[in-house]
Structure 1
Amino acid sequence: MSIVLSHSAVRLLYRAPARPRYLPKFPGVSSPLKTGAPQADEVARARALLISYGIPASKLETLELLVSEPKERRRMPGIKCHVCRHELPAHALVRLDTGIFAVDPRFCALLAGQDLDYLELVEYYYELCGGYELPIEEGESYREVAPLTSCCELETFFRSMRGMHGVPQALRAVRYARDGSRSPMETASTMTLVLPRRDGGLGIHRVTMNHSIAITGTARRMTGRREFFADAYIAPARLLIEYMGMRHEEEERQADDSERDNALDTMGYHVVRIWRWAFFDTMRYRRILAKIRAEVGLRATRFPADFDDRQEALRRFVLRHWL
């Protein structure tokens, strides 16, 4: 017998600060899920394991589990069972301990499509495909980590699970996620560029994150670096969007940014900076996005009449944890 952690339990797992960074993957080939009815001792062992990874016990009062048949569902305190009779692709599970498994990050992303609202889902995919993970407890700092998956891997996995509840929502959301975000604020600002206009975004498709730009020609004499990384980059406009957090307000960092701008300008690139304080101001941020619209060549007539209201609603959503 074995149990498989799912839904909210695995979203906590993949944010747990002390979890193992390598977890063996199963199955080796595509196959149906086989579990068995969860037993109280197994559930207690799984809960203790998650607590050892740094998840507060208060967050684990109810563990969500996958079972392979309806008859395996159990109505016992502390668990919620979900039936999964779908054929699982290879490596859709990870092993935490003997008899204790969890869905892998791709499967976790799909199951999130059953729980999270659309914008929350887009935001979550940026985290899974980025270089950071949010803390479990509010008020703590995010951690820099290696990406758990990529947008391409997510889309491929979702398509392989067609027919399962949550797939349409997941496929819709992953269209607007991007690989490479290095912080929650980079995610927040990029969502306002990529999301469609009906959702308050600018609807710019060709946005890449953490984009490498090699320093060439005479620009090499203007900086000590050999490449720059753009927070967000729009290739057709040769436009870099840079989120300027508090570290950029330091005098030495401002000198580095000035060198960077000079080198990029020499190579024919343009830079739009989003200062933290401007992001938190409705009108200032609206003017920044108007500048980006002009640089990309987006005509005002292509936006709905109530776009300012939609844009503000999106800004407030992506900043909701800090407002």
Structure 2
Amino acid sequence: MDLPIVLSHRTAVLYYRAPDRATVRGRDYDLNPTAGRARDVASRVRELLSDCGVPEYGLARLDVLCPTEHDRVGSKEFKSHVYGGPIPMKQLIHLAPGLFIIKPELCFILAATYMKDIELLELGFEFCGSYELDSTGNGSPYRKRKALTSVKKIRTAAKDCAGAHGARKAKRALARVRDGARSPMETALALMILAPHHHGGLSYLGIEMNRRVDIPEDMRRSCSLEYLEADVFAPAAQAVIEYDEDVHAPLKQRTRDADRSSAFLRLGYRMHTVTAGHFSEQLPLHRALNGIAETLGIKAPSSAAFQRKQNELRKQLIKRWKREDDRKPAPASEKDGNAQGTEGVDSEPAATSVNGGAMQEAEGVGPGPDPAPQSGDAVYEAEGHGPARISEKDGRAREAETDRPAPASEDDRDKRRQSVRAPHRQ
């Protein structure tokens, strides 16, 4: 090997979902690509990634970015991807001596070369939102964090990297990505509205995520909140679309939600609430989206073919959630940005599983059968199994300034190193 290593593609996505990545920056892993054998270098890169929290299945073969065909790494330890010219240094992050990783902006652009349309949109919402998926499957399915990037930054990078593979598809996808999502559930709700008709969405682009709405002074005496945040806000229609947590929410949380809904209505906004129950079945969600379309001033397609696509989209967006009776204990609650108290949020979504960079349903928590379609509606239900019951931790808790998961203990990192010191071969 005669070039510094640049991690990219699926390996980069797993790095940005790793819980302890901040703890390894700048640490020396004795990487010297110009002097070491590819197998030895790969072993040390795996050690670094394991210390970050990247799961073992993501270490079998490492994705690296090369400037030209002549720079490909001739080793089965690495999967080389050709950029097509000098890799812009401003799109790289220095992890350790001899090792770089592409920034989230370029990571999204290159993801367009191997991700399907909806999967790419989900990644965009995640990178531009305040959460990250957990690829380890060992805890909560997502963690709170500050946004890695923004739609504006990705769009600028796509212009600067116009010759990169995936740049054109990434730019088209950005039209349906929004900043500010706080959970995969909010992302799912937004994509049911934003996605084009041929993917089962309403194809309505005029929405924002978590728009702040200040409470006027004359309403302060009758409202305990200083401001509201709308999960999905449609300015042109003056509509607010909320994702509501499950029915097991504590009384104080449900009271705050009722106060929020009342305040939105008093301010003149038209309200829609979508719940986990809507997402768990095809027909309730179809009817809810028809009502939202009417409020937005658009006409949703009514054909059986569209409803089939809508149902497929629903299933794809909820594949990360599992049954309520399999839920793990919720993490510590965070300060609620919409209220002066912090009590009340105790439900959370399901654990996830990733295989080869694409999210898959976790073994044993797959969806159960849907009820039969109801007569009188042009409803299509795919053959096989329907979705599981779902629940989520309410996304309204504003993350604290230090809301980064605690780094792994030294014992945990030692165990990870021991599991990856032997070279992995495909």
Per-residue CA deviations over 1:77-122 (Å, capped at 9, x if unaligned) read 3211122233444520001001110111111111111111111111
Task: Give me the whole-angstrom Cα distance separating, in 2, the residues matched to 1:298 and 1:139.
Answer: 42
Question: Paired residue for 2:341?
Answer: none
Per-residue CA deviations over 1:20-68 (Å, capped at 9, x if unaligned) read 18969xxxxxxxxxx9798423322211111111112332010011122
SS for the counterpart of 2:265 is helix
Q: 1:119 to 1:139 in 2, by over 3 A?
A: farther
Q: 1:45 to 1:107 in 2, by over 3 A?
A: same
Larger relative CO (CA 8 A, sep 6+): 1 or 2?
A: 2
Task: Give me the whole-angstrom Cα distance separating, in 1, the residues matched to 2:8 and 2:192.
Answer: 30
Task: Give me the whole-angstrom Cα distance separating, in 2, the residues matched to 1:60 and 1:204.
Answer: 39
Gaps of 5+ in 1: 25-34
Q: 1:205 to 1:69 in 2, by over 3 A?
A: closer
SS for the counterpart of 2:236 is helix
Q: Indicate if the aligned counterparts of 1:233 and 1:241 stay in contact, CA closer than 8 A.
A: yes
What is the Cα deviation at residue 169 of structure 1?
1.8
Task: Give me the whole-angstrom Cα distance separating, in 2, the residues matched to 1:311 and 1:46.
Answer: 42
193-202 vs 87-96, greater mean Cα deviation? 87-96
Q: Indicate if the aligned counterparts of 1:38 and 1:74 stay in contact, CA closer than 8 A.
A: no
Question: Paired residue for 1:10?
Answer: 12
Task: Give me the whole-angstrom Cα distance separating, in 1, the residues matched to 2:96 and 2:304.
Answer: 55
Task: Give me the whole-angstrom Cα distance separating, in 2, the residues matched to 1:160 and 1:23.
Answer: 26
* 1:229 matches 2:229: yes
Per-residue CA deviations over 1:252-278 (Å, capped at 9, x if unaligned) read 112112222222222111221111112
Q: Indicate if the aligned counterparts of 1:222 and 1:262 stay in contact, CA closer than 8 A.
A: no
What is the Cα deviation at residue 305 of structure 1?
6.5
Q: 1:74 to 1:87 in 2, by over 3 A?
A: closer
Q: TM-score, normalised by structure 2?
A: 0.69
SS for the counterpart of 1:20 is helix
Question: Paired residue for 1:271?
Answer: 271
* 1:284 matches 2:284: yes
Task: Give me the whole-angstrom Cα distance separating, in 1, the residues matched to 2:148 and 2:52.
Answer: 17
Task: Give me the whole-angstrom Cα distance separating, in 1, the residues matched to 2:35 and 2:109.
Answer: 23
Question: Paired residue for 1:256?
Answer: 256
Equivalences for residues 37-76 of structure 1 within 5 A: 39-40=37-38, 41-76=40-75
Q: 1:36 to 1:121 in 2, by over 3 A?
A: farther
Task: Give me the whole-angstrom Cα distance separating, in 2, the residues matched to 1:270 and 1:319.
Answer: 26
What is the Cα deviation at residue 290 of structure 1?
1.1
SS for the counterpart of 1:209 is strand
Q: Which has the higher helix share?
A: 1
Q: Indicate if the aligned counterparts of 2:129 and 2:146 stay in contact, CA closer than 8 A.
A: yes
Equivalences for residues 308-323 of structure 1 within 5 A: 308-322=307-321, 323=387
What is the Cα deviation at residue 249 of structure 1?
3.1
SS for the counterpart of 1:263 is helix
Q: Indicate if the aligned counterparts of 1:212 and 1:227 stay in contact, CA closer than 8 A.
A: yes
Question: Paired residue for 2:219?
Answer: 219
Task: Give me the whole-angstrom Cα distance separating, in 1, the residues matched to 2:85 and 2:305.
Answer: 42
Q: TM-score, normalised by structure 1?
A: 0.90
Question: Paired residue for 1:202?
Answer: 202
The one-letter code sitting in structure 1 at the alignment partner of 2:289 is L
Question: Paired residue for 2:81?
Answer: 82
Question: Paired residue for 1:110?
Answer: 109
Q: 1:224 to 1:49 in 2, by over 3 A?
A: same
Q: Indicate if the aligned counterparts of 1:197 and 1:304 stay in contact, CA closer than 8 A.
A: no
197-206 vs 233-242, greater mean Cα deviation? 197-206
Q: Indicate if the aligned counterparts of 1:132 and 1:182 stay in contact, CA closer than 8 A.
A: yes
Q: How many pairs does the alignment contain?
A: 312
SS for the counterpart of 1:96 is strand
Q: Which has the higher strand share?
A: 1
The one-letter code sitting in structure 2 at the alignment partner of 1:15 is R
Task: Give me the whole-angstrom Cα distance separating, in 2, the residues matched to 1:303 and 1:219.
Answer: 41
SS for the counterpart of 2:22 is coil
SS for the counterpart of 1:241 is strand
* 1:163 matches 2:163: yes
Q: 1:60 to 1:247 in 2, by over 3 A?
A: farther
Equivalences for residues 238-253 of structure 1 within 5 A: 238-246=238-246, 249-253=249-253
Q: CA RMSD in A?
A: 2.2
Gaps of 5+ in 2: 27-32, 322-386, 388-426
Q: Indicate if the aligned counterparts of 1:210 and 1:230 stay in contact, CA closer than 8 A.
A: yes
Q: Indicate if the aligned counterparts of 2:24 and 2:48 stay in contact, CA closer than 8 A.
A: no
Task: Give me the whole-angstrom Cα distance separating, in 2, the residues matched to 1:277 and 1:39.
Answer: 55
Q: Indicate if the aligned counterparts of 2:12 and 2:102 stay in contact, CA closer than 8 A.
A: yes
Task: Give me the whole-angstrom Cα distance separating, in 2, the residues matched to 1:220 and 1:37.
Answer: 68
The one-letter code sitting in structure 2 at the alignment partner of 1:250 is P
What is the Cα deviation at residue 19 of structure 1?
0.5
Q: 1:118 to 1:266 in 2, by over 3 A?
A: same
